[in-house]
């Protein structure tokens, strides 16, 4: 087995290796602390700059998933006691509930080319992921944390905010990575709240939100036209754009549309 002193970042994997220990330590410290060990999965550890700080936390039972074989070899050589906890593979293909029967934290300097898909995976496993701390492209992190009336506010903002308390922690400059990305980065923390249901099916809510934002420059009367009843007087918020509605208002909107279909 070849000995690696470093790993060459691969564009195809969206790799930008964090090179600032203070930022890595802040990310590791941002995960909630527990009296009992909590299963924790790091996505894309690369050369382990974040991993080493996560391993220092005695309250985390850490595993990692890494697609890059060279990075896996590097981690096995430099963190030998961690060797059996590294999964070589694609996070998006993992059966998370089979690997982690109990709830687990998610953490990482996430590859930007799959960051949105990671967030949808969190949404799909929201009953199983009580906390997530991750590095994203700054505009993506800002979007998730934004409230209504903000140009950054979008589909994932509305879909995630009912279930998680979301906090934009800090920004990270391009020069903190090797190679430097062309964009700034931002660290986001999401903590699961106690909400168990919205009073409407998640799939229907998701469809209304996505359809509303797909033509975000139009009023909801026009953006949602294929889904609306003939009489829209019973449907609220028709003269507003999607970005003006809070997630609570989207729930009311979805319920009203569904009720009108049932009534007919």
> In the numeric block, which tokens belong to residue 66?
């890494």
Fold of 202-263: Helicase, Ruva Protein; domain 3 (1.10.8)
Q: Say yes or no: domain 11-192 is CATH 3.40.50.150.
A: yes
Which pLDDT belongs to residue 1? 44
Q: For the chain, how far is it from start to end, CA to CA, in angstroms?
A: 68
Beta strand 177-178 with 17-18: parallel, antiparallel or unpaired? antiparallel
Question: Which pLDDT belongs to residue 188?
Answer: 97
Helix axes 202-214, 247-263, angle to 10 degrees: 110
Q: Is residue 249 over pLDDT 90? A: yes
Instruction: Return mean pLDDT, the chain.
Output: 93
For the stretch 34-82, pLDDT in tens is: 888 999 999 999 999 999 999 999 999 999 999 999 999 999 999 999 9
CB atoms inside a 10 Å sphere around CB 173: 13
State the CB neighbour count (10 A cutoff) for residue 126.
19
Q: Is 80 exceeded by the pLDDT of residue 128?
A: yes
| Predicted confidence (pLDDT) per residue in 140-177, tens digit | 999 999 999 988 899 999 999 999 999 999 999 999 99
CA distances from 16 to 116, 174, 184, 233 (A): 17, 10, 12, 51
Phi-psi domain of 190 (left: phi exceeds 0; alpha: psi -120 through 50; beta: other)? beta
pTM over 0.85: yes
Residue 6 backbone phi and psi in degrees, to 5: -160, 170
The pLDDT value recorded for residue 116 is: 94
Q: Report the C-alpha gap between 264 and 261 in whole angstroms.
A: 5
Confidence of residue 263 (pLDDT cuts 50, 70, 90): low
Query: Which residues have C-beta within 8 Å of that of residue 120, sequence separation ≥ 6?
Result: 156
At CB < 8 A and 24+ separation, what contacts does 234-243 make?
A: 234/260, 235/260, 241/216, 241/217, 242/209, 242/212, 242/213, 242/216, 243/148, 243/149, 243/150, 243/151, 243/153, 243/154, 243/213, 243/216
Give the single-character DSSP code of 29.
Answer: H
Q: Do domains 11-192 and 202-263 have the same CATH topology?
A: no
Beta strands in the chain (DSSP E): 17-18, 38-43, 60-66, 86-88, 105-109, 131-137, 164-172, 177-178, 185-192
Write down the domain spans for the chain. 11-192, 202-263
Angle 151-112-181 (CA atoms, 0-180°, nearest 5)? 95
pLDDT score, position 34: 87
């Amino acid at each position: 087995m070849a000995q690696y002193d470093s790993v060459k970042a691969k564009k195809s994997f969206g790799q930008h290796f964090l090179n600032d220990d203070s930022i890595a330590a802040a990310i590791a410290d941002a995960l909630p602390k527990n009296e009992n060990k909590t299963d924790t999965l790091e996505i894309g550890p690369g050369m382990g700059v974040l991993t080493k700080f996560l391993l220092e936390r005695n309250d985390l039972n850490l595993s990692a998933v890494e697609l890059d074989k060279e990075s896996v070899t590097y981690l096995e050589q430099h963190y030998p006691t961690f060797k059996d906890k590294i999964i070589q593979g694609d996070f998006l293909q993992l059966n998370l509930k089979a690997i982690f029967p109990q709830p687990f934290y998610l953490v990482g300097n996430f590859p930007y080319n799959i960051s949105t898909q990671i967030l949808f995976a969190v949404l799909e496993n929201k009953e199983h992921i009580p906390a997530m701390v991750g590095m994203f492209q700054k505009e993506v992190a800002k979007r998730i944390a934004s409230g209504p009336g903000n140009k950054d506010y979008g589909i994932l903002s509305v879909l995630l905010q009912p279930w998680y308390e979301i906090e934009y922690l800090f920004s990270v400059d391009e020069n903190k990575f090797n190679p430097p990305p062309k964009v700034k980065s931002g660290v986001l923390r999401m903590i699961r709240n106690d909400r168990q249901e919205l009073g409407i099916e998640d799939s229907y809510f998701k469809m209304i939100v996505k359809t509303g934002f797909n033509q975000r420059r139009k009023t909801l009367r026009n953006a949602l036209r294929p889904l609306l009843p003939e009489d829209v007087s019973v449907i609220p918020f028709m003269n507003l754009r999607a970005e003006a509605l809070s997630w609570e208002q989207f729930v009311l909107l979805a319920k009203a549309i569904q009720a009108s279909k049932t009534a007919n």
